[in-house]
Amino acid sequence: MELKAVCDLDGDRARRFGALYEADAVFTDYEEMLANADIDAVATLTPHERHAEQVLMAVKHGKHVLIEKPMAATLEDALKICEAAKSKGLHVFALRPTYFMPDSAGLCSWCQMGPSERCLWFAQLVPAWGLGRVSERPPTSVGFIRAAQAGCPASPV
């Protein structure tokens, strides 16, 4: 796998990142990158409300897409993405945001070693969530999408 292009609205940040990871090209315009860069797939790592627009644009340009969850801010947009990708024979992968973190990579390599008779229990401590069960997380914690952003009616916690 090669990093062919980097795109960021902040040109300086895009150039620094591109230089650090030896990207062939740097862009500040997403559609220009999709139209001009020699790429097969894109990783879209943007705010949730931009996912649908950018993923649909990438699919329109014939690119496979890796995106952090959620795939889209609304179910309607997620269905549009699925339909567009299917019609073009492309893949859209929605990954959890921690996929590239070292603990996740360690878990993946452990799983690739093959079957094991040991039972695996994996927990991840996220400081913003504090300690406790999932149900005890405050609804405004970092990493939670608010109901309005998700296209859902507000509900009591």
Domain assignment present for 147: no
Q: How far is CA 110 from CA 98, 99, 118, 123, in A?
A: 17, 14, 11, 15
* Structure token digits, residue 11: 């040109």
Domain assignment present for 21: yes
Domain assignment present for 91: yes
Domain assignment present for 58: yes
- The total number of structural domains in the chain stands at 1
pLDDT digits (tens, 9 = 90+) for 76-108: 999 999 999 999 999 998 886 665 566 555 555
Give the range of the structural domain holding residue 10, as residue numbers without chain letter: 5-95
Instruction: Please state which of the ranges 6-10, 15-19, 101-105, 150-154 shows the lowest mean pLDDT.
Output: 150-154
Residue-averaged pLDDT of the chain: 74
Residue 154 has pLDDT above 90, yes or no: no
Residue 122 has pLDDT above 80, yes or no: no
| Prediction pTM value | 0.62
Contact 69, 81 (CB under 8 A): no
Domain assignment present for 87: yes
Domain assignment present for 119: no
Residue 147 has pLDDT above 70, yes or no: no
CATH code of the domain covering residue 79: 3.40.50.720
Domain assignment present for 55: yes
Whole-angstrom distance, CA of residue 85 vs CA of residue 4: 22
pLDDT digits (tens, 9 = 90+) for 27-76: 999 999 999 878 999 998 888 888 899 999 999 999 999 888 888 888 89
Instruction: Please state which of the ranges 34-43, 109-118, 144-153 shows the lowest mean pLDDT.
Output: 144-153
More confident residue, 19 or 98: 19
Residue 10 has pLDDT above 60, yes or no: yes
Contact 85, 91 (CB under 8 A): yes
Instruction: Give the per-residue pLDDT at 97.
Output: 63
